[in-house]
């Protein structure tokens, strides 16, 4: 397994290109199952999760051709040969469950393995099932697989989510595009990835209104056509790299960044004393000398502070002036980066879903272990300003969500390299 070695190397300067959004691409790809005509995605990120989704779609009989070094995904689901999403693939990546709604709508049946838990939580699918059953699906759990069928096709209905689940909103939204009649999703997730999915589905002929708000209305149609769609910018990669100059000092421009994607996050950076300005190429982040100020953070569904930036924000607050309190309200176990940051000299107390961070002057490099995707990158961010060398192991977690992280950070002056574990 590889390791990444990062050494505190002073201020960062330059620009970092931001890729297409992993979490948009992972829901746009299953949308190909809704149509017999080709769906092509551009601005796709080069990530191992995208390769996993590619394997899954191919196992169902879809054709997926990657071009331009993986940035273009040309897909066709004209001849599907299977309706079973196997445990072997689903257990590797929870987002595999996003083939359930499209397969049910297109084929009238689907067998999808339950994903099983993951490092950050149990991650059940009760809200996905609730929504699809409301559209008339019959879903039964057998031997760890969801067996879903809708022999007479899906019928539009009103679906109220008890929690604004991103995945459940995406699954039911995709299924509703081919249901007979009108579907109304209440307390729907409002993430930019949902808005991007709705835009792509409309380009395919779907009739959708209200995406980006808590109420989405879909008029079902008989069939969908093909489309070519650019994947929206990755707001989590954007926020991650905005924290690099915030932590190490200096000035970095994140190309392709848009303020609307990260408003609540930028409000917190502003509170901490970090300067963010919009440029005609993206977002510029500047941190003058002097320590950042402590701030309190509570994660929430969009437009609240994103849970996927909580670990990275904690890395910044470890050396803030004062005490910060972070509340993780989305997942039940998303502080696994905290003990690793403590190994670097951070002072953090975790009680349930609350982490209290007492800022220290500077962290010290140390060998640390990545435990999940966002935790791994928070350790690299912390290492950018730590004294000495930080060695991050199990960086395969990183490859799931960050393309070329060494090249992007080297490009702004970071001292960072990837090595084969000794």
- Which residues are part of a known binding site? 22-23, 94, 123-127, 308, 330
Nearest position to ligand EPZ, beta carbon: 167
Q: Kindly tell me which residue out of 56, 173, 330, 344 binds ligand EPZ, with binding defined by CB under 6 A.
A: 330
Judged by CB under 6 A, the number of residues near ligand EPZ is 25
CB of 404 to ligand EPZ, least distance (A): 17
CB of 322 to ligand EPZ, least distance (A): 28
Which residues are catalytic, by number? 118
CB of 120 to ligand EPZ, least distance (A): 6
The SS3 of residue 272 is coil
Say how far apart CA 260 and CA 366 lie, in whole Å. 36
The SS3 of residue 21 is coil
Q: Is 123 in the site for ligand EPZ (CB under 6 A)?
A: yes
Q: Kindly tell me which residue out of 17, 249, 359, 401 binds ligand EPZ, with binding defined by CB under 6 A.
A: 401
Q: Which C-beta is closer to ligand EPZ: that of 278 or that of 332?
A: 332
Q: Is 94 in the site for ligand EPZ (CB under 6 A)?
A: yes
Binding-site residues for UDP-N-acetyl-alpha-D-glucosamine: 94, 123-127, 308, 330
Sheet containing 72-76: order of strands:
63-67, 72-76, 39-42, 227-230
H or E segment to which residue 147 belongs: strand 145-149
Say how far apart CA 90 and CA 352 lie, in whole Å. 28
CB of 304 to ligand EPZ, least distance (A): 10
Q: Which C-beta is closer to ligand EPZ: that of 373 or that of 381?
A: 373
Question: Between residue 12 and residue 41, which ones bind ligand EPZ under the rule CB under 6 A?
Answer: 22-23, 26
Q: Which C-beta is closer to ligand EPZ: that of 12 or that of 25?
A: 25
Q: Which C-beta is closer to ligand EPZ: that of 90 or that of 412?
A: 90
Say how far apart CA 259 and CA 126 lie, in whole Å. 33
- Residue 9 Rama label (left phi>0; alpha psi -120 to 50; beta): alpha
Q: Kindly tell me which residue out of 10, 116, 117, 124 binds ligand EPZ, with binding defined by CB under 6 A.
A: 124
CB of 307 to ligand EPZ, least distance (A): 5
Q: Kindly tell me which residue out of 85, 166, 355, 363 binds ligand EPZ, with binding defined by CB under 6 A.
A: 166
Q: Is 128 in the site for ligand EPZ (CB under 6 A)?
A: yes
| Residue 294 DSSP code | P
> Is residue 152 exposed (0-12), middle (13-18) or buried (19+ Cβ within 10 Å)?
exposed
Residues pairing with 36 in the sheet: none
Residue 84's nearest CA partner among 115, 120, 53, 109 is: 109
Provide the strand spans (E) within 150-299.
158-160, 182-186, 207-209, 215-219, 227-230, 250-255, 275-278, 282-287, 297-298
CB of 127 to ligand EPZ, least distance (A): 3
Q: Is 168 in the site for ligand EPZ (CB under 6 A)?
A: yes
Binding mask 144-163 for ligand EPZ (x = CB under 6 A): -------------------x
Question: Between residue 295 and residue 314, which ones bind ligand EPZ under the rule CB under 6 A?
Answer: 307-308
Q: Which residues of 240-266 are buried (b: 16+ CB within 10 A; e: fewer)?
A: bbbbbbbbbbbbbbbebbbeebbeebb
Beta-carbon count within 10 A of 422 CB? 5
Q: Which C-beta is closer to ligand EPZ: that of 124 or that of 181?
A: 124
CB of 237 to ligand EPZ, least distance (A): 10
Beta-carbon count within 10 A of 358 CB? 15
Of the ranges 68-76, 166-174, 386-394, 409-417, which one interacts with ligand EPZ (CB under 6 A)? 166-174
> Is residue 167 exposed (0-12), middle (13-18) or buried (19+ Cβ within 10 Å)?
buried
Binding site for ligand EPZ (CB under 6 A): 22-23, 26, 94-95, 121-128, 163, 165-168, 307-308, 330-331, 373-374, 401
């Amino acid at each position: 397994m590889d390791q990444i070695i990062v050494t505190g190397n002073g201020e960062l300067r330059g620009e970092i290109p931001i890729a297409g959004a992993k979490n948009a691409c992972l829901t746009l790809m299953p949308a190909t199952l809704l149509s017999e005509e080709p769906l092509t995605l551009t601005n796709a990120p080069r990530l191992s999760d995208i390769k996993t989704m590619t394997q899954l779609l191919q196992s169902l009989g879809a054709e997926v051709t990657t071009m331009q070094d993986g940035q273009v995904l040309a897909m066709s689901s004209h001849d599907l040969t299977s309706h079973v999403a196997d445990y072997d693939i689903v257990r590797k990546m929870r987002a595999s469950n996003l083939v359930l709604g499209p397969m049910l709508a297109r084929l009238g049946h689907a067998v999808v393995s339950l994903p099983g838990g993951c490092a950050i939580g149990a991650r059940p699918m009760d809200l996905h099932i609730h929504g699809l059953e409301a559209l008339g699906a019959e879903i039964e759990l057998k031997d760890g697989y969801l067996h879903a069928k809708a022999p007479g096709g899906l019928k539009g209905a009103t679906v109220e989510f008890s929690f604004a689940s991103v995945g459940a909103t995406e699954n039911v939204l995709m299924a509703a595009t081919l249901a007979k009649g009108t579907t109304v999703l209440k307390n729907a997730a409002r993430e930019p990835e949902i808005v991007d999915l709705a835009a792509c589905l409309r380009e395919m002929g779907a009739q959708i209104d209200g995406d980006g708000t808590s109420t989405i209305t879909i008029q079902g149609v008989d069939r969908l056509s093909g489309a070519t769609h650019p994947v929206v910018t990755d707001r989590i990669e954007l926020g991650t790299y905005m924290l690099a100059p915030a932590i190490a000092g200096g000035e970095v421009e994140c190309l392709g960044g848009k303020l609307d994607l990260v408003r609540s996050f930028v409000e917190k950076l502003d509170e901490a004393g970090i300067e963010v300005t919009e440029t005609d190429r993206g977002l510029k982040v500047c941190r003058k000398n002097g320590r950042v100020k402590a701030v309190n953070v509570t994660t929430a569904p969009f437009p609240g502070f994103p849970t996927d930036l909580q670990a990275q924000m904690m890395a910044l607050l470890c050396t803030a002036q004062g005490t910060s309190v972070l509340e993780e309200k989305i997942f039940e176990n998303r502080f696994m980066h905290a003990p690793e940051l403590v190994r670097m000299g951070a002072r953090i107390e975790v009680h349930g879903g609350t982490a209290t961070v007492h800022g220290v002057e500077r962290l010290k490099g140390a060998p640390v272990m990545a435990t999940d995707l966002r935790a791994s990158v928070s350790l690299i961010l912390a290492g950018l300003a730590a004294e000495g060398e930080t060695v991050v192991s199990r960086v395969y977690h990183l490859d799931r969500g960050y393309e070329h992280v060494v090249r992007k950070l080297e490009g702004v002056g970071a001292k960072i390299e990837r090595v084969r574990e000794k």
